[in-house]
Structure 1
Amino acid sequence: MKRILAAAAALLLACGLPARAQDFPSRSVTMIVVFAPGGATDVLARIVAEHMTRTLGRSVLVENVSGAGGTIGGARGAQAAPDGHTLTVGSLGSHSAAPSIYRNIAYDPRELQPIGLIAGTPLFFVVRRDHPAQTMQEFLAMARANPGRITNGHAGIGSTNHLACALFQHLTGVQFNNIPYRGEGPAVNDVVAQQVDSACVLAPAAVPQVTAGTMRGLLTAAAARNPNAPGVPSAVEAGVPDYIFQGWNAVFAPRGTPAPVVARLDQALRAAINDPAIRQRIEGLGSIPAAPEAQGPEALARLVRSEVDRWATVIRAAGIEPQ
């Protein structure tokens, strides 16, 4: 009799999981953004969250949980119940480089449940609009003549912006007075307010400000100019040809999220990214929506594994000390 009851309980449990997954979502979905409002991660998350709300039939609500280069929000998302109702939008920094920078990080991005890539995010090196340097070569001459005096804002140690400017300093031999913020948005605000000299800023946060003339781009870290900011020279034109850098943003769920729920979230994210209107909005910010072959959980899992290994090597070479 006990064996019969145990078998019946197991059957009910097995039947219950798919039923709950089919009912997903049963309430609003929280999308944790690991940086403060206004940066690339936040902007892209809000674009896809709006579309996913329509697809899922439940609100997808963005919650900004910033600090420690995105790892505070990353830990919150990783430790949430694995039922699909809490997602995390992370970046190259928070979800690939962070394990090499933070000794006590509370999650391994390779062990999370990937949902999918949102977009690649080209990078701009910007200065306050009244900065005396008009070109990158003029800026480098000033920086070399004044080591440690030019201020450079970033989104926190281990963030994509921090890594981008650490690589820039490594390649050019300049030294900045580096100022960490709780996200890219606050750093950009201080460049616009002319409180900080420079920053490495991802396209969704850089392009609107550069276009508006509230800060100036000295280069885009790519071999060619960005079509949404055609007045900004490429890295090659600016005389720093090896400075090629692109960030990314992606959606993750906690480890152990049921496969049917993952499939539903994957479908909703793909619907957003492949909507022509959404792609146009992302492209209008200078970013690159995920191509079909780069979409989905398996493609994101491969990207994260390769990026964790790659950035471990770069971080060691750049002499960045673990925190």
Structure 2
Amino acid sequence: MLRWIAAACAAWLGWAGAAPAQGQAQDFPSRPITMLVVFAPGGATDVLARIVADHMSRTLNQRVVVENVSGAGGTIGGARGAQAAPDGYTLTVGSLGSHSAAPSIYRSIQYDPRELQPIGLIAGTPLYFVVRNGHPAQDMRQFLAMAREAPGRISNGHAGIGSTNHLACALFAHITGVEMNNIPYRGEGPAMNDVVAGQLDSACLLAPAAVPQIQSGTMRGLLIAATERSAGAPAVPSAPEAGVADYIFQGWNAVFAPRGTPEAVVQRLDGALRAALTDPAIRARIESLGSVPATPAAMGPEALRNLVRTEVERWAVVVRAARISEP
């Protein structure tokens, strides 16, 4: 009898504890949601986050407020997002760098991307190698010749140690054998701004940051790290056309929540992100930036979970080979 009473009490307590959480999930969201972007404003991660945040705000009938938390290759913002309350009110938009390569680079990292609650992929992001207006190199062959004649003289910017851009720059140096003066920034936006201002010779920039500037004529693209040209910047040669056929690289951006976020909340957020990415106007806007919106097969938490697991393993090998480490 006593055992039966104890079991009944335990069951009741479990139900009582679950009921409020269940109710909170059903009422979600009842207040604004913060979407942390792990890099400074103006870069690819920031641009794509703001596009989907605006649409998700309308779907959820609550503001989704973007907050930039940059530094340490995106791991400062990544840690803050991972350690937030698992209630769906703090999301993180991360990248290949911050949520795949970072664990192999940063000894002090305070989160494991594989243990986060994935919400969904936003887009794949092709990479452009760009130079400032006025740079004497008219194409990639001339640029490489200049870089080889004066090792370490040409300045090249990226979004910080371990960022997607940094990995792309490391791959470029490995394939071409050139040595440049690589300068880490606190995000892609500041590096882009210095190229536009003529204070930086070159940079590895993802499509949402590079394409608008190339279109407006404030910088020049020497190649897109892909096998074909992009409709967003059709004048920029593909990697094979530019003479660097092996330089194929694509980053990605995705939305994460803290581990332990209730399933009902995850489903609500997944639905809002899907609504954004299946809206023809949103897809067209992302494509106009040279990015590739997630396909239906690549959408959703499980697809993103599988992507992150695969990418963490793949980039661990690359990072070791390139000897990239925390400064």
Residue aligned with 1:87, SS: strand
**Residue 297, structure 1, aligned to residue 301, structure 2:** yes
Question: For 1:121 and 1:6, how far apart are their aligned partners in 2?
Answer: 50
- Match of residue 23 from structure 2: 19
* Residue in 1 that maps onto 2:290: 286
Q: In the alignment, residue 192 of structure 2 is paired with which amino acid?
A: V
The equivalent of 1:276 in structure 2 is 280
Q: Which residue of 2 aligns with 1:47?
A: 51
* SS of alignment partner, residue 61 of structure 1: strand
* 2:254 counterpart residue number: 250
How far apart, in 2, do the equivalents of 1:286 and 1:210 lie? 11
Q: Any conservation in 1 of the 2:131–2:221 contact (CA below 8 Å)?
A: yes
> Is residue 73 of structure 2 the alignment partner of residue 80 of structure 1?
no
Determine the structure 2 residue equivalent to 1:139: 143
Which secondary structure state, in structure 1, belongs to the residue aligned with residue 98 of structure 2?
helix
**What TM-score results when the alignment is normalised by the length of structure 2?**
0.97
1:67 corresponds to: 71
Aligned counterpart for 2:164 among listed residues 160, 167, 177: 160
Q: 2:162 touches 2:324 (CA, 8 Å); kept in 1?
A: no
Displacement of 1:5 in angstroms is: 4.6
User: Do the aligned partners of 2:129 and 2:204 also contact (CA within 8 Å) in 1?
Assistant: yes
CA distance in 1, matches of 2:230, 2:240: 13
* Structure 2: gaps (5+ residues): none
Residue 229 in 1 paired to residue 233 in 2? Answer: yes
Gaps of 5+ in 1: none
Find the partner of 1:321 among 317, 321, 325: 325
Match of residue 187 from structure 1: 191
Deviation beyond 6 Å, 4+ runs, structure 1: none
The answer for the alignment partner of 1:217 in structure 2 is 221
The alignment partner of 2:13 has SS state of: helix
Query: Is contact 2:226-2:249 (8 Å) kept?
Result: yes
The answer to whether the 8 A contact 2:71-2:187 is kept is: yes
Quick check: 1:120–1:246 contact (8 Å CA) kept in 2? yes
Q: Deviations over 1:166-206 (max 9, x none)?
A: 10001110111111111100000000000000000000010
TM-score, normalising length from structure 1?
Answer: 0.98
Provide the secondary structure at the position in 2 that maps to 1:237: helix
The SS at the match of 2:241 is coil
What secondary structure, in the 3-state scheme, does the structure 1 residue paired with 2:229 have?
coil
Matched, 1:198 2:181: no
The aligned length equals: 323
Report the CA distance between 1:312 and its aligned residue.
Answer: 0.8
Q: Note the C-alpha offset of 1:322.
A: 4.2
Q: Is the 8 A contact 1:100 1:322 kept in 2?
A: no
- After superposition, give the CA deviation of every residue in 1:199-219 in whole Å (9 maximum; x if it has no partner): 000000100000111000000
Give the secondary-structure state (helix, strand or coil) at the position aligned to 1:303: helix
Counterpart of 1:266 in structure 2: which amino acid? Answer: D
